[in-house]
Amino acid sequence: MKTLILNIKQLVQTELSPRKWVAGKDMARLGILENAYLLVEEDKIAGFGKMEDLDREAVYAGGDIVKEIDATGRLVMPSYCDSHTHLVYAGSREIEYIDKIRGLSYEEIAKRGGGILNSCERIRKASEEELFDAAYDRIQEIAGFGTGAVEIKSGYGLDTESELKMLRVIRRLKAETPLLIKSTFLGAHAVPLEYKGRQTEYVDLIINEMIPMVAAEELADYIDVFCDKGFFTVEDTDRMLNAGMKYGLRAKIHANELDYSGGVQVGVKYNAISVDHLECMGEEEIACLLESETMPTVLPGAAFFLNMPYSPVRKMIQAGLPVALASDYNPGSSPSGNMKFIMSLGCINYKMLPEEVINATTLNSAYAMGVEEEAGSIAVGKLANFYITTPISGIEYLPYAYTADLIEAIFLKGEQY
């Protein structure tokens, strides 16, 4: 089965020679073909080019069924890659939303048993089936927003049984949905109430029990730690990442959301695939990242929802760094997985160009979750994960029309969704 999309106004993020990421000034450059075609065969991209160069005889050779789609006036975009989410959770936290409106800080809410610990209590009470059903609905939601690849973390269980339960839900989502999914073990999301005042003992539990059991069931691709003020120290993080590395779990880090935590540096030390949040970034952190293979990942939804200072994205790009954007979809600080809105926030609040936010939500975010060889761009051999827009003027309209639904058709692994 082949699908041939014709008369595409703009075929966006095309690559003849796939790259792992784009950085610095290159983030403002985007491969765009005008008046183009795209050929899909089974679940892969088989070819693309200018309409004037289309060889119809070659497409139809062999007698394959070919479905043609006319995309006149429309853009074709690679699906978003959302490299940081917490979308397996039980119940919402709108009461804390009201607390924020009344002036309580993130840390104050956490100290009262809210925040992550609130979600922890709910996760422990929920069945695996209940968690799967709720997460499955969220997966369908984000797919409808144009996301084709997503990283999902545990981290609301905070005991061995509940963390494993969350990771098994993620494994089932991998098997039963068309999205490309990566799983991250985040037992070190917070210190549970039963270990209050005994943080080192909880770290020992993660190292000696949780990590070996996660690895034994092959439940995670990555290990994450919330290395920040009021959460886990650099020393704690170092110990846990070292233990995870021994079991084949590459690092991803929550870093520098609340303060200059040292999280960036310890992430780079362990060759983390990404360091995420990054509201607090100075010259030392930028210099450290420039010498690394670690993707700086900014979460505009969380900063927007919590009314936090914005990460210095322009300074990072000007220094030559790549930048990825992700949704941080979670019930407490970013209750949305709409990556088009994340692009809009990137433009409005971080002064990123449309080309930069597209690179940050596709190719760079694909790297930040380890799927850059399969997703993130229009390239021959990559998965056919893309969407067709409604008739629009060009790429600039996507972040500009920040609440408009501009998707007409979605393809995941070559099938119309």
Task: Flag whether 121 is marked binding.
Answer: no
Residues 220 and 117 in one domain: yes
Inter-residue contact 84 to 276 (CB < 8 Å):
yes
Residues 298 and 169 in one domain: yes
Task: Flag whether 209 is marked binding.
Answer: no
Task: Flag whether 86 is marked binding.
Answer: yes
Residues 356 and 411 in one domain: no
Question: What range defines the domain where residue 175 resides?
Answer: 80-369
Domain count, the chain: 2
* Token pair recorded at residue 72: 């006149």
Closest CA to 165 of 223, 93, 217: 217
pTM of this prediction? 0.96
Question: To which H or E segment does residue 211 belong?
Answer: helix 211-216
Q: How many CB atoms within 10 Å of residue 114?
A: 18
Task: Flag whether 89 is marked binding.
Answer: no
Residues 118 and 187 in one domain: yes
Q: Which residue in this structure is represented by tokens 């609301």?
A: 156
Residues 220 and 335 in one domain: yes
Please provide the average confidence, as pLDDT, over all residues in the chain: 96
| pLDDT < 70 regions, the chain | 112-113
Confidence (pLDDT) at 372:
98
Integer-rounded Cα radius of gyration of the chain: 21
Strands 386-389 and 324-325: what pairing? unpaired
Task: Flag whether 277 is marked binding.
Answer: no
* Token pair recorded at residue 388: 């067709």
Task: Flag whether 83 is marked binding.
Answer: no
Q: Per residue in 356-399, pLDDT tens? A: 999 999 999 999 999 999 999 999 999 999 999 999 999 999 99
Residues 190 and 268 in one domain: yes
Residues 114 and 213 in one domain: yes
Bridge partners for 39 per DSSP? 4, 47
Q: Per residue in 69-119, pLDDT tens? A: 999 999 999 999 999 999 999 988 888 888 888 888 877 777 766 788 888
Residues 190 and 332 in one domain: yes
Residues 105 and 54 in one domain: no
Q: For position 232, which CATH number holds?
A: 3.20.20.140
Q: For position 402, which CATH number holds?
A: 2.30.40.10
Task: Flag whether 70 is marked binding.
Answer: no
Inter-residue contact 339 to 96 (CB < 8 Å):
no
Residues 44 and 158 in one domain: no
Confidence (pLDDT) at 113:
67
Task: State the Cα–Cα distance between residues 79 and 147, nearest whole angstrom.
Answer: 5
Residues 228 and 350 in one domain: yes
Bridge partners for 8 per DSSP? 36
Residues 129 and 239 in one domain: yes
